[in-house]
């Protein structure tokens, strides 16, 4: 049987290769992680709701329950993630983009980070709509960590000579796909977010892993569903009856409005990010009292959304999923709300949370839009693992709903009778989140999530126009903002925010390499250099007289006694020499495509300098 | 008003840029071309049908009408395309891929080629199912020609410094999108077919142009539709009721079968391609008597499919669209055909063409599959502009239908009652065409064409598995086959068919550059070199003594009297020097990403050789 196994293994791996199995495993694993995280979150949320409902009649106790529960959860998330792995805070997508474009950020792919992020994210998601943070970003990061971990398993790595970056690109697609069971938008996300050039050899693995992740997560949802409960997909069945040309025109105006609000949002987000990094009081608090800060901020957020005060007018009791589901409703709320009965436990009537008796829909939606923008910006400053995509998606949906309701209200009855605000919600969600992140995959995501084809044209058009407007004049995206404020080495963001970078030549930024060792100097030379400099990269040349043919040395250990230069580190031949007249942009492209971390600049055959990520970012500072 | 116009123009171009307008124009233009081509084809086909039906009762006349009409059309297409522009024959996708990866094939983007291809393609499509050729490939080529033409308009090109290749990538997406009104699969097609690295900066333009093309073509279809007529989208409404795990298992077996048939098809296609290039008689005929050859081959094809002989058993009367539409039918033909009435003009009853009275469905489908494979391979050798994607799509659909009917027949009644052969057809079409071209976009295309979401999982899975199996062991795709036989400079195809290429180093293939001119030699030196060599690329060095700092010169004209070296051509600084130890694969990647046509190899600062497409292909021969 052992021989049989070996034969089978050989047969399978000769046809398919072990890396294919690795991709499938990654997809299935991430879908399982997503499912169990959702399960834990729903248990925690249900406990909160049960406690809150049980305290009915005691306003003060209800207030404390409403505010302290999420504050406690977020404080735990913050403390946990900070103590186990500080770099697990935030979304993680900007850092993953840097890793994919060739930079080395070793902290971001460790197992401790994986652990801290899973626990922290679960706590943050369990604190619900009060905190209003999402799951996608950290999940993409989790997926890349898992991919990097699978990559390190010797059996898999021995049989293949693929670059580890390929696995990370696949993992990014899996993250989105297993989160939403949407394979196509997962693949498109990994194409558009993860670098300046997409290697087509990663395309089939991406699709395979994303399809496996989406299929597993879909099957898990079906099997775990309680009786009578329905998924978002099955419930959201709208029919778009507005005539096509008419709706196309409206879509264009619609997306103009969206681009405007995206600009406001991005500007205030950028301002908040800068403020938390420059205000001295905040810096001191964030440095020492992260947990306290998280607790206080969430307490404040929860106080604002307390259902017996302002929260009553902004549907604060609904979870993120319910918010999205109610906003996608196809009824015209303004028209129906006059003769509506009290909200019941029927999921079809959940939308009535948006129309508390005696108030107009426009008041609640307007209040939601006004307040949530600032609350969202505030919660983005929390040092916890959290995603910022889903909040933008829901916020955009609310804008779309508002516009749809407004149109239904102001248009004459004949035209507005067949108007479906749900379609505007969908287009709004895709356009807003797409414009915030400068991506188009949200349009596909909106279509895949809801299974709608009738809205394909307006959704795609709105996303395209909003994207074009927000991208004009090199405005940075949400991820770019974070990358710039955190000073991450990500060339595309840098070039976008600093257009003069595209005319900089290598000669203007290169760093002369002092650490040069001749081959005949042997270990002695290396030791001398190690004492005098803190570099870990040396140029190894044939003779000191003329620096002609050189290799570079990455010092690892000094183990063996009386070793040669070759023994103390890894010597790599320098294959590509650039001239000092090369534009920095081309150097970025080469570093990204060939996954090089060091580029060497020569002049008349002599080494004149070295370019790494540090040098290439010099002009920005 | 003039000032106002200028102001408007500036305002628009400062926000959006003229190139955006250019992308939109490209999308709309290609949709218009597609629409008018379809219109012309439908008129020509209707004339043929009218003539054929009018000759009812005269078998010989009917036979002549059936065979001579397509022969004449194909002969015209062949003669026309050969006399106006010989390179307009074939699909054009392999050549477009070469152009995108940096090679120069000037003939393939001219306006005369555009003209020849439009007329030739219309004639070929009008000859109908007899010839069984499609539209997609040439349409992608047409679209890139149109894109290159738009790119040459001075107003557009003056304001932007983008590379022309970006426009061609966009054009490829538009070609597919405007052909099928399927924007997403258009974009995915351009990602996966058009190079080894996809530049993400082309992504938004691709989506924009594809969406505009798809929207225009969709609107044109709606407005031009006659009353009562329905599009494929509206008609094909199937419901997949087979249980999920059950259908997943079947899908896997299904795709195994597909991969097998794809291998047979690709092998026979490769054999036919080689045969037409090596058989001496055929070479002589194809060199001098292309038109005669086309006429005779089509006459033979038409004789085989004559409806009063074998054609009766392979639904020869149906057009390509009708073939696809009938195959996607959701009824179980085997079960229904027993009590069916005679076929009428009702589009719902068109499928009965597949079940002529007295014969089994399996006979007609089997005969179709057996005969069409060889007929298709034969028609692929025709020297006319034609696409090979749609035939593969329909052939795959027929395989899927056959398997679906077989399953419905052999499974017990309880299990087979809810089985929908239409779903198998869809999965089969996507899997077969995807495996033939080594792409995944057919899966998206199948879903976008039919608007089905219930079949998303089996379609995607079948396409993925069929792709993985046909890609294993570096088997070349359909396009690779053509590229290899035609000896086109396309690195990914070469690496796939010749794995040892990935270990070749530059030192083994470089060509020593003899044409070296020193700067001080001036024009005299250039003229001397021009007389002694046929090169158009020279290295310009500082002094002949040491070839240290060099530039290269691309000779254009010798216009001015007593010119300097700088005046006679374009001098470009060499920015990237490679060492002789660089793998050829990395050189390919650099040439593709940076769009360089010449790479220079240096050794200790001295120029040791040059690498162009010719050299990089040397190890293959």
Question: Three-state secondary structure along B510-571?
Answer: CECCCCEEEHHHHHHHHHHHHHHCCCCEEEEECCCCCCCCEEEEEECCCCCCCCCCCCCEEE
Q: For residue A434, give how far its alpha carbon lies from the nearest alpha carbon of chain B (Å).
A: 12
Count interface pairs A-B at CB distance under 8 A.
158
- A493 pLDDT higher than 60: yes
A585 in a structural domain = yes
A250-286: b (≥16 Cβ within 10 Å) or e = bbeebbebbbebbeebbebbbebbeebeeeeeeeeeb
Kindly report the CATH number assigned to the domain that includes residue A578: 3.10.580.10
Q: For residue B290, give how far its alpha carbon lies from the nearest alpha carbon of chain A (Å).
A: 38
Partners of residue B467 in chain A, C-beta under 8 Å: 204
Contact assignment for B468 to A548 by CB distance below 8 Å: no
Non-local (6+) Cβ contacts of A346 within 8 A are: none
Question: At which residue do the structure tokens 């021009």 appear?
Answer: B530
B95 in a structural domain = yes
Q: Which domain holds residue B577?
A: 503-620
What are A430-439's pLDDT values in tens digits? 888 888 888 8
DSSP code of residue B440? S
What is the model's pLDDT at position A232?
41
- A136 pLDDT higher than 70: yes
What are B529-579's pLDDT values in tens digits? 777 766 666 777 766 555 555 555 555 444 445 455 555 556 666 777 777
Contact assignment for B605 to A548 by CB distance below 8 Å: yes
Q: Which of A197, A468, A593 sits opposite B16 (nearest CB)?
A: A468
Q: Which of A244, A440, A578 sits opposite B207 (nearest CB)?
A: A440
B313 in a structural domain = no
What is the model's pLDDT at position A241?
36
Q: For residue A521, give how far its alpha carbon lies from the nearest alpha carbon of chain B (Å).
A: 21
Q: For residue B101, give how far its alpha carbon lies from the nearest alpha carbon of chain A (Å).
A: 13
A226 in a structural domain = no
Here the contacts of B402-410 (C-beta below 8 Å, separation 24 or greater) are B402/B362, B402/B365, B402/B366, B402/B369, B403/B254, B403/B257, B403/B428, B405/B332, B405/B333, B405/B334, B405/B361, B405/B362, B405/B365, B406/B362, B407/B250, B408/B332, B408/B334, B408/B335, B409/B334, B409/B362
What is the model's pLDDT at position B347?
58
Residues in chain A: 621
Partners of residue A578 in chain B, C-beta under 8 Å: 575-577
Residue B245: its H or E element: helix B244-278
Q: Which of A191, A472, A604 sits opposite B605 (nearest CB)?
A: A604
Nearest residue of chain B to residue A454 (CA atoms) = B451
B1 in a structural domain = no
Residue A394 to residue A448: CA distance in whole angstroms: 16
Partners of residue B17 in chain A, C-beta under 8 Å: 472
B293 in a structural domain = no
Q: List the structure tokens of A481.
A: 């903002």
Q: Residue A411: name the closest of A242, A240, A612, A558 by CA.
A: A242
**Beta strands B606-611 and B599-603, pairing class:** antiparallel
C-alpha angle B188/B189/B191, rounded to 5°? Answer: 60
Q: Which of B20, B191, B605 sits opposite A605 (nearest CB)?
A: B605
Query: For an interface test with A, which of B186, B546, B576, B584 has the most A Cβ atoms less than 10 Å from its Cβ?
Result: B576
Last residue within a domain, chosen from B430, B462, B492: B492
Task: Please tell me whether residues B223 and B239 are part of one structural domain.
Answer: no
**Beta strands A550-555 and A569-573, pairing class:** antiparallel
Query: What does residue A76 show for φ and ψ, rounded to 5 degrees?
Result: -60, -45
Task: Please tell me whether residues B482 and B441 are part of one structural domain.
Answer: yes
Query: For an interface test with B, which of A440, A543, A583 has the most B Cβ atoms less than 10 Å from its Cβ?
Result: A440
Q: List the structure tokens of A596.
A: 């090089």
What are B402-418's pLDDT values in tens digits? 888 887 787 776 666 66
Partners of residue A457 in chain B, C-beta under 8 Å: 211, 215, 218
Task: Please tell me whether residues B439 and B541 are part of one structural domain.
Answer: no
CA dihedral A350, A356, A362, A363 (to 10 degrees): -130
Q: How many domains does chain A have?
A: 1
Task: Please tell me whether residues B569 and B610 are part of one structural domain.
Answer: yes
Query: What does residue B250 show for φ and ψ, rounded to 5 degrees?
Result: -60, -40
Among A437-446, B273-282, B359-368, which stretch is predicted with the lowest mean pLDDT?
Answer: B273-282
Instruction: Average the pLDDT over A335-359 and give the result.
Output: 65
Q: Which of A184, A192, A594 sits opposite B184 (nearest CB)?
A: A184
Task: Please tell me whether residues B393 and B245 are part of one structural domain.
Answer: yes
C-alpha angle A417/A418/A421, rounded to 5°? Answer: 100
Instruction: Average the pLDDT over B155-179 and give the result.
Output: 75
Band the pLDDT of A544: cuts 50, 70, 90: low
Sheet with A599-603: list strands edge to edge: A606-611, A599-603, A576-578, B576-578, B599-603, B606-611
Residue A203 to residue B191: CA distance in whole angstroms: 9
Task: Please tell me whether residues B457 and B580 are part of one structural domain.
Answer: no
DSSP code of residue B388? S
Query: For an interface test with A, which of B210, B457, B463, B542 has the most A Cβ atoms less than 10 Å from its Cβ?
Result: B457
Band the pLDDT of B238: cuts 50, 70, 90: very low
User: Do B393 and B432 form a contact (C-beta atoms < 8 A)?
Assistant: yes
Contact assignment for A594 to B589 by CB distance below 8 Å: yes
Band the pLDDT of B174: cuts 50, 70, 90: very high
Per DSSP, helices labelled H in A163-243 are: 164-180, 183-193, 203-224, 232-235
Task: Please tell me whether residues B413 and B443 are part of one structural domain.
Answer: yes
Band the pLDDT of A234: cuts 50, 70, 90: very low
Last residue within a domain, chosen from B472, B492, B512: B492
Contact assignment for A15 to B440 by CB distance below 8 Å: no
What are A425-477's pLDDT values in tens digits? 888 888 888 888 888 888 888 887 776 666 777 788 888 888 887 777 677 88
Task: Please tell me whether residues B60 and B108 are part of one structural domain.
Answer: yes
Nearest residue of chain A to residue B213 (CA atoms) = A457
Contact assignment for B579 to A575 by CB distance below 8 Å: yes
Q: For residue A579, give how far its alpha carbon lies from the nearest alpha carbon of chain B (Å).
A: 5
Instruction: Average the pLDDT over B589-613 and give the result.
Output: 74
- B242 pLDDT higher than 50: no
Non-local (6+) Cβ contacts of B413 within 8 A are: none
Residue A63 to residue B182: CA distance in whole angstroms: 52
B298 in a structural domain = no
Q: List the structure tokens of B246.
A: 């059950």
What is the model's pLDDT at position A33?
93
Contact assignment for B461 to A586 by CB distance below 8 Å: no
Residue B463 to residue B459: CA distance in whole angstroms: 6
Non-local (6+) Cβ contacts of A87 within 8 A are: A95, A105, A107, A108, A113
User: Do A397 and A327 form a contact (C-beta atoms < 8 A)?
Assistant: yes
What are B80-125's pLDDT values in tens digits? 888 888 888 888 888 888 888 777 777 888 888 889 999 999 999 9
Residue A355 to residue A334: CA distance in whole angstroms: 9
Mean of the per-residue pLDDT values for chain B? 77
What are A201-218's pLDDT values in tens digits? 888 889 889 988 988 888
Partners of residue A20 in chain B, C-beta under 8 Å: 468
What is the model's pLDDT at position B226?
58
Nearest residue of chain A to residue B549 (CA atoms) = A604
Residue B40 to residue B409: CA distance in whole angstroms: 42
Partners of residue B200 in chain A, C-beta under 8 Å: 191-192, 195-198, 492
Residue B285 to residue B291: CA distance in whole angstroms: 9
Residue % of chain A over a pLDDT of 70: 77
Q: List the structure tokens of A211.
A: 């399809």
Q: For residue B575, give how far its alpha carbon lies from the nearest alpha carbon of chain A (Å).
A: 5
Residue B207 CB neighbours (<10 A): 27
Partners of residue A450 in chain B, C-beta under 8 Å: none
Q: Residue B445: name the closest of B122, B203, B258, B210 by CA.
A: B210
Task: Please tell me whether residues B519 and B461 are part of one structural domain.
Answer: no
Q: For residue B347, give how far its alpha carbon lies from the nearest alpha carbon of chain A (Å).
A: 24
What are B8-38's pLDDT values in tens digits? 666 666 555 667 788 888 999 999 999 999 8
Non-local (6+) Cβ contacts of B434 within 8 A are: B440, B441, B442, B443, B463, B466, B467
Band the pLDDT of A140: cuts 50, 70, 90: very high
Contact assignment for A586 to B594 by CB distance below 8 Å: yes
User: Do B168 and B96 form a contact (C-beta atoms < 8 A)?
Assistant: yes
Residue B242 to residue B398: CA distance in whole angstroms: 20
What is the model's pLDDT at position A108?
85
Mean of the per-residue pLDDT values for chain A? 77
Contact assignment for B457 to A218 by CB distance below 8 Å: yes
What are A81-126's pLDDT values in tens digits? 888 888 888 888 888 888 887 777 778 888 888 899 999 999 999 8
Nearest residue of chain B to residue A196 (CA atoms) = B200
Residue A612 to residue A617: CA distance in whole angstroms: 9
Q: Residue A182: name the closest of B251, B460, B204 by CA.
A: B460
Strand partners, B583: B505
User: Do B454 and B420 form a contact (C-beta atoms < 8 A)?
Assistant: no
Partners of residue A549 in chain B, C-beta under 8 Å: 603-604
Task: Please tell me whether residues B359 and B267 are part of one structural domain.
Answer: yes
Most confident of A4-18, A26-40, B394-408: A26-40
Among A269-278, A499-508, B342-351, which stretch is predicted with the lowest mean pLDDT?
Answer: B342-351
Q: For residue A25, give how far its alpha carbon lies from the nearest alpha carbon of chain B (Å).
A: 16
Q: For residue B454, give how far its alpha carbon lies from the nearest alpha carbon of chain A (Å).
A: 9
Contact assignment for A579 to B573 by CB distance below 8 Å: yes
Non-local (6+) Cβ contacts of A598 within 8 A are: A537, A552, A610, A611, A612
Task: Please tell me whether residues B49 and B195 are part of one structural domain.
Answer: yes
Most confident of A347-356, A360-369, A382-391: A382-391
Task: Please tell me whether residues B170 and B101 are part of one structural domain.
Answer: yes
Q: Which of A473, A581, A593 sits opposite B573 (nearest CB)?
A: A581
Query: For an interface test with A, which of B180, B210, B211, B463 has the most A Cβ atoms less than 10 Å from its Cβ?
Result: B211
B268 in a structural domain = yes
ipTM of the complex, rounded to two decimals: 0.83
Last residue within a domain, chosen from B172, B207, B234: B234
What is the model's pLDDT at position A446?
85
Predicted TM-score of the model (pTM): 0.84
DSSP code of residue B169? H
Instruction: Average the pLDDT over B484-495 and give the result.
Output: 76
- What are the percentages of helix, strand and coil residues in chain A, rounded to 5? 70, 5, 25
What is the model's pLDDT at position A407?
80
Q: List the structure tokens of A504.
A: 């900089």
What is the model's pLDDT at position A558?
45
Kindly report the CATH number assigned to the domain that includes residue B229: 1.10.3080.10
User: Do A207 and B462 form a contact (C-beta atoms < 8 A)?
Assistant: no
Query: For an interface test with B, which of A204, A255, A502 has the most B Cβ atoms less than 10 Å from its Cβ?
Result: A204
Band the pLDDT of B230: cuts 50, 70, 90: very low
Helices vs strands, H then E, count in chain B:
28, 8
Q: For residue A468, give how far its alpha carbon lies from the nearest alpha carbon of chain B (Å).
A: 7
Q: List the structure tokens of A345.
A: 């436990």
């Amino acid at each position: 049987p052992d021989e049989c196994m070996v034969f089978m293994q050989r047969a399978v791996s000769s046809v398919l290769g072990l890396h294919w199995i690795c991709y499938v495993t990654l997809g299935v694993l991430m879908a399982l992680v997503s499912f169990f995280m959702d399960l834990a979150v729903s248990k925690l949320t249900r406990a909160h709701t049960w406690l809150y409902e049980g305290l009915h009649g005691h306003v003060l106790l209800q207030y404390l329950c409403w505010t302290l529960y999420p504050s406690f959860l977020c404080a735990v998330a913050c403390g946990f993630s900070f103590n186990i792995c500080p770099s697990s805070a935030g979304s993680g997508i900007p850092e993953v983009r840097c890793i994919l474009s060739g930079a080395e950020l070793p902290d971001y792919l460790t197992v401790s980070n994986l652990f801290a992020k899973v626990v922290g994210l679960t706590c943050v998601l369990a604190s619900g709509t009060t905190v209003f943070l999402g799951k996608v970003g950290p999940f993409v990061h989790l997926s890349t960590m898992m991919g990097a971990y699978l990559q390190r398993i010797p059996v898999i790595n021995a049989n293949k000579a693929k670059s580890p970056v390929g696995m990370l690109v696949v993992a990014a697609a899996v993250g989105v796909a297993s989160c939403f069971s949407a394979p196509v938008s997962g693949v498109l996300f990994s194409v558009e977010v993860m670098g300046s050039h997409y290697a087509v050899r990663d395309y089939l693995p991406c699709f395979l892993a994303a399809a496996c992740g989406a299929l597993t997560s879909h099957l898990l949802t079906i099997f775990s569903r309680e009786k009578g409960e329905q998924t978002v997909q099955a419930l959201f069945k709208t029919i778009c009856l507005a005539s096509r040309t008419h709706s196309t025109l409206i879509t264009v105006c619609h997306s103009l409005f969206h681009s405007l609000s995206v600009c406001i949002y991005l500007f205030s987000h950028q301002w908040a990010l800068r403020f938390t990094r420059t205000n001295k009081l905040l810096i001191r608090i964030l440095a020492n009292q992260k947990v306290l800060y998280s607790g206080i901020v969430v307490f404040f957020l929860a106080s604002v959304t307390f259902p017996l005060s302002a929260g009553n007018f902004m549907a604060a009791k609904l979870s993120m999923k319910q918010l999205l589901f109610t906003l996608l409703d196809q009824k015209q709320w303004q028209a129906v709300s006059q003769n509506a009965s009290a909200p019941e436990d029927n999921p079809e009537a959940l939308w009535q949370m948006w129309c508390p008796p005696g108030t107009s829909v426009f008041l609640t939606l307007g209040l939601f839009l006004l307040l949530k923008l600032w609350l969202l910006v505030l919660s983005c400053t929390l040092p916890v693992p959290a995603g910022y995509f889903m909040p933008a998606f829901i916020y955009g949906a609310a804008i779309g709903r508002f516009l749809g309701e407004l149109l239904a209200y102001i248009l004459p009855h004949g035209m507005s009778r067949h108007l479906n605000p749900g379609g505007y919600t969908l287009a709004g969600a895709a356009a807003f989140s797409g414009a915030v992140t400068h991506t188009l995959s949200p349009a596909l995501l909106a279509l895949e999530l809801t299974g709608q084809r009738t809205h394909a044209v307006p959704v795609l058009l709105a996303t395209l126009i909003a994207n074009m407007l927000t991208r004009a004049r090199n405005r940075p995206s949400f991820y770019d903002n974070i990358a710039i404020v955190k000073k991450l080495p990500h060339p595309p963001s840098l070039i976008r925010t600093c257009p003069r970078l595209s005319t900089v030549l290598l000669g203007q930024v290169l760093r002369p390499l002092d650490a040069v060792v001749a081959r005949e100097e042997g270990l002695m030379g290396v030791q001398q250099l190690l004492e005098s400099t803190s570099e870990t990269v040396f140029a190894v040349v044939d003779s000191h007289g003329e620096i002609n043919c050189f290799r570079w040395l990455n010092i690892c250990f000094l183990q063996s006694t009386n070793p040669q230069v070759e023994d103390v580190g890894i010597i790599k031949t320098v294959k590509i020499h650039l001239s000092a007249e090369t534009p920095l942009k081309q150097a970025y492209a080469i570093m990204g495509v060939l996954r090089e971390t060091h580029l060497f600049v020569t002049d008349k055959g002599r080494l004149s300098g070295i370019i790494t990520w540090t040098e290439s970012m010099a002009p920005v500072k």
